Amino acid sequence: MRRYVLKRLLSLVGTLLGVSVLIFLMVHLIPGDPVTTILGQFATPDAVSQMRAALGLDEPLWQQYLHFLGRLLVGDLGTSLFTGQSVWEQITQRFPITLQLAIFSVIIAAIFGILLGTIAAVKQNTIVDRLVVLSSLVGISAPGFWIALFLIWIFAYKLGLFPISGYEGLHSLLLPAITLGMAEAGMIARMTRSSMLEVIKQDYMRTAEAKGAAVIRMVFSHGLPNAIIPVVTMLGLQFGSLMAGAVVVETVFSLQGIGSLAIESIGKRDMPTVQGMVFFMAVIFATTNLVVDLIYSLIDPRIHYD
């Protein structure tokens, strides 16, 4: 296990190095000039030249990248061009909301997705199966902003059970979490159904059925643990994506999370903030994938890493 983890960590370093190159190049391909955004379009050429020199934007791209990489190696994600605040401070201020939202969303998706997918597999080709498949398709296909506005209209505006926007405590994250969780639950339900259908056909499941084992025990004790591996993979990917910020949902619900910060920074052409945030998101996503791989051995003892 230790050898495997060491290999993965080394590959993670190489991956993040490649990601840093892509981030730097992509950010510099964003249309617009941050200096013009800061000084305004009527700034004099001398003022623009002085600002570019002060920010180091007059240097060749390879030198700018080396400065960016050097800062990353010491844990410095950069400083905002507009607020003068470090990118790390901005992330630490906004990340807790995104983290809570991601956790709630994944819990909702896991509970409903796994339960409905398992029921659909057991009741294959029945009306229950068709309803689950249809509802999962609706959850996947429905635009997130439409679901968010519908939930706001019903539960916040009409019933007044939740705040319309903003963060006022954990209860204000329920509607955003449901919005995100519906789409994720639909994908989890379809994956669970497919995986369970394969497991149900196995000999040990038919043997348990022949011995008179209760359906609930047979499904949840013998079937689901063997069908859950691909579902865990999908949950890990979804959690990593949500940790990187749910841009649409955070914008609709006016949540000051990572996603909304990314949108604001891109709109302002705040290159250091965008670079630092995207790299932070890449680290979160890659780390989540590593943790998910290690969880496999806890779920299924037959899985060993050399």
Q: Are residues 283 and 234 in the same domain?
A: yes
289 within domain boundaries: yes
Q: Are residues 130 and 277 in the same domain?
A: yes
Residue ranges of the chain whose pLDDT lies below 50 = none
The closest of 234, 242, 245, 253 to 278, measured between CA atoms, is: 245
Residues 55 and 49: their CA atoms lie apart, in Å, by 10
Q: Are residues 60 and 156 in the same domain?
A: no
14 within domain boundaries: yes
140-195, pLDDT tens digit by residue?
887 777 888 888 888 888 887 877 777 777 778 888 888 888 888 888 888 888 88
82 within domain boundaries: no
Q: Are residues 166 and 38 in the same domain?
A: no
CATH number, position 253? 1.10.3720.10
Q: Looking at residue 1, what is its pLDDT?
A: 65
Q: Are residues 61 and 161 in the same domain?
A: no
Residue 33 belongs to domain spanning: 2-73
Q: Are residues 68 and 205 in the same domain?
A: no
Residues 209 and 37: their CA atoms lie apart, in Å, by 69
Q: Looking at residue 32, what is its pLDDT?
A: 67
Contact 171, 162 (CB under 8 A): yes
Q: Looking at residue 303, what is its pLDDT?
A: 62
Q: Are residues 171 and 54 in the same domain?
A: no
Cα-to-chain-centroid distance, residue 215: 35
Q: Are residues 101 and 30 in the same domain?
A: no
